[in-house]
């Protein structure tokens, strides 16, 4: 069973914000002649890399709710110019909306067991995926989703 990571998506107001940020960063990387992969830099390196890379995703908390995920492709520890150990999380640039679930703020990232991860909206069976994100967010906040 795979293991996931959970992280705050600081600065994003919505899934659309996250998708636009990804597209912008990829365009900047292409303009510099770098691979158009999506990287997210963290300070700590996950210890359970093999479990995460066996199908794990990074779940994003946007405005107090787990809202979306991206499949993790690689985890690359490195040392920055100041000699500080850091880590690049390499993600598939496809953002998958998930069933919104409230989650309190935290620092860094957290492990998320597969059994505790919210389902993708596409697996929901109803019209939840067609509902505007803001309405989904509000209904989830009221405990109606």
| CA 36 to each of CA 23, 31, 114, 118: distance values in angstroms, whole numbers, following the listed order | 9, 9, 28, 28
> Mean pLDDT, the chain, as a whole number?
88
Q: What is the DSSP string of 34-55?
A: ----EEEEESSPPS-HHHHTTT
Name the pTM for this structure: 0.84
pLDDT of the residue at 144: 61
Q: Please check the confidence at residue 129 and state whether its pLDDT lies above 60.
A: no
Domain carrying residue 59: 3-141
Q: Please check the confidence at residue 85 and state whether its pLDDT lies above 80.
A: yes
Structural domains counted in the chain: 1
Residue 2 pLDDT level (bands cut at 50, 70, 90): confident
pLDDT of the residue at 136: 66
């Amino acid at each position: 069973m795979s293991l996931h990571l959970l992280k705050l998506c600081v600065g994003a107001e919505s899934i659309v914000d996250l998708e636009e940020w990804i597209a912008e960063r990829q365009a900047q990387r292409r303009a510099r002649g770098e691979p158009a992969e999506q990287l997210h830099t963290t300070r700590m390196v996950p210890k359970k890399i093999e479990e995460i890379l066996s199908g794990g995703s990074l779940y994003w908390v946007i405005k107090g709710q787990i809202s979306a995920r991206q499949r993790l492709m690689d985890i690359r520890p490195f040392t920055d110019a100041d000699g500080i150990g850091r880590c690049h999380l390499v993600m598939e640039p496809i953002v998958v909306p998930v069933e919104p679930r409230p989650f309190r703020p935290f620092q860094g990232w957290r492990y998320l067991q597969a059994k505790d991860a919210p389902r993708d909206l596409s697996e929901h069976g109803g019209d939840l995926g067609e509902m505007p994100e803001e309405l989904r967010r509000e209904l989830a906040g009221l405990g109606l989703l």
